[in-house]
């Protein structure tokens, strides 16, 4: 009864060490979109406006009343259509009870994966992290996470670790494929060994983990969830990132094939799939890369991406997560005339961003 609560050390991100940015730095198109989504673009708010006009005894035939009603109907139809579309595409949500789930996260020692693992660890969930980096037992106990040293690009290592996870925690039901490395090198500078390692870690690891853990989800009465973390660069490509973008682009096709195969499996409806295609995240993997426009293409905080993933996983839903806003619409670039695409790429600076960084992260 007199035991003192455990005190955990807190380390703030390095960005807190620097001076505060001016107020307009935090004004982004994503913030504007979010505000609009909770106000005039929300069907309930649109109908409240109609009620307010009616409360003022505004006649039904007045132009402002007709416009308000038409807008409310439009917002309602869009909301209903979106809900029906998601229901057709991803089915009904599955019930998620963290006490009964076993969560496997690849590449969870640093970056986004570490943040997700630590959040679930603090909530006493069953979390297993697969990473080549070693974590000492004291740190693992403090975070409430089990760490397994494993190269997820090696099928035999994944299968061996899977047996340990099943023995320690039980059959995995949530798989978050997050592991990834990047080399900032041109095609001519990239060695065959580096290209092979990129694909082993970023792409082949997904095959290994799916082949190993998916059968347990399909046989589980509660189903499971598979999270595939790709990148917005999978749609775009970029100078000095040929191996990285190609390995992430392969995940888009893999995810589509996974969904197609699950739709043909008798128990496939119980396994939810989530595709994550974020823009630049504030992790050390792309530290030093300057965004061309903080308003249109802001750097996304890891916590924001983690919150989206955790929310969808715990809601038992399938779907796609694309943040910031431009990453939801970036595929439209591919249908524009090639001249327009060239102008947009030059304006965005996407093919110049990596030249001045001198980056190599694993």
SS3 of 338, please? helix
Residue pair 274/319 in contact by the 8 Å Cβ criterion: yes
The residue among 201, 162, 218 whose CA lies nearest residue 285 is: 201
Residue pair 133/115 in contact by the 8 Å Cβ criterion: no
Look up 38 and say whether it is catalytic.
Answer: no
**22 is written with which tokens?**
């001016």
Rounded Cα–Cα distance for residues 173 and 218 (Å): 9
Of 90, 120, 244, 326, which residue is the catalytic one?
A: 244
Q: Determine if the peptide bond prior to 324 is cis (ω within 30°).
A: yes
- Angle between helix 63-90 and 43-55 (nearest 10): 160
Rounded Cα–Cα distance for residues 98 and 127 (Å): 10
Rounded Cα–Cα distance for residues 186 and 239 (Å): 7
The residue among 112, 111, 150 whose CA lies nearest residue 128 is: 150
Rounded Cα–Cα distance for residues 155 and 149 (Å): 14
- Catalytic site positions: 244
């Amino acid at each position: 009864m007199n035991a003192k609560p455990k005190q955990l050390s807190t380390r703030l991100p390095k960005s807190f060490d620097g001076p505060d940015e001016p107020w307009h730095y935090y004004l982004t198109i994503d913030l504007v979109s979010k505000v609009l989504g909770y106000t005039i673009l929300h069907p309930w708010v649109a109908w409240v406006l109609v009620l307010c006009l009616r409360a003022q005894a505004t006649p039904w035939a007045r132009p402002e009343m007709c416009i308000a009603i038409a807008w409310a109907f439009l917002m309602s139809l869009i909301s209903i259509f979106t809900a029906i579309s998601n229901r057709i595409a991803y089915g009904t949500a599955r019930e998620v009870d963290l006490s009964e789930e076993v969560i496997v996260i690849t590449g969870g020692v640093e970056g986004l994966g570490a943040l997700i693992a630590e959040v679930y660890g603090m909530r006493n969930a069953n979390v297993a992290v697969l990473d080549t980096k070693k974590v000492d037992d004291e740190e693992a106990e403090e975070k409430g996470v089990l760490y397994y040293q494993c190269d997820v690009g090696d099928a035999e290592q994944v299968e061996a670790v899977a047996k340990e996870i099943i023995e320690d925690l039980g059959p995995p039901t949530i798989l978050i494929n997050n592991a990834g490395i990047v080399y900032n090198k041109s095609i001519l500078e990239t060695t065959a060994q580096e290209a092979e390692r990129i694909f082993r870690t970023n792409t082949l690891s997904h095959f290994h983990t799916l082949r190993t853990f998916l059968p347990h989800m399909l046989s589980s009465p509660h189903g499971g969830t598979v999270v595939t973390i790709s990148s917005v660069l999978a749609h775009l490509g970029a100078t000095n990132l040929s191996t990285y973008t190609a390995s992430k682009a392969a995940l888009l096709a893999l995810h589509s094939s996974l969904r197609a195969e699950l739709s043909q499996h008798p128990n496939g409806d119980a396994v939810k799939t989530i595709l994550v295609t974020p823009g630049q995240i504030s992790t050390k993997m792309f530290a030093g890369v300057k965004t061309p426009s903080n308003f249109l293409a802001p750097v996304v905080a890891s916590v924001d991406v983690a919150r989206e993933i955790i929310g969808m996983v715990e809601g038992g839903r399938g779907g796609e997560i694309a943040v910031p806003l431009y990453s939801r619409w970036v595929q439209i670039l591919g249908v524009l005339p090639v001249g327009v695409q060239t102008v947009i790429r030059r304006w965005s600076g996407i093919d110049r961003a990596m030249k001045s960084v001198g980056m190599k992260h694993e």
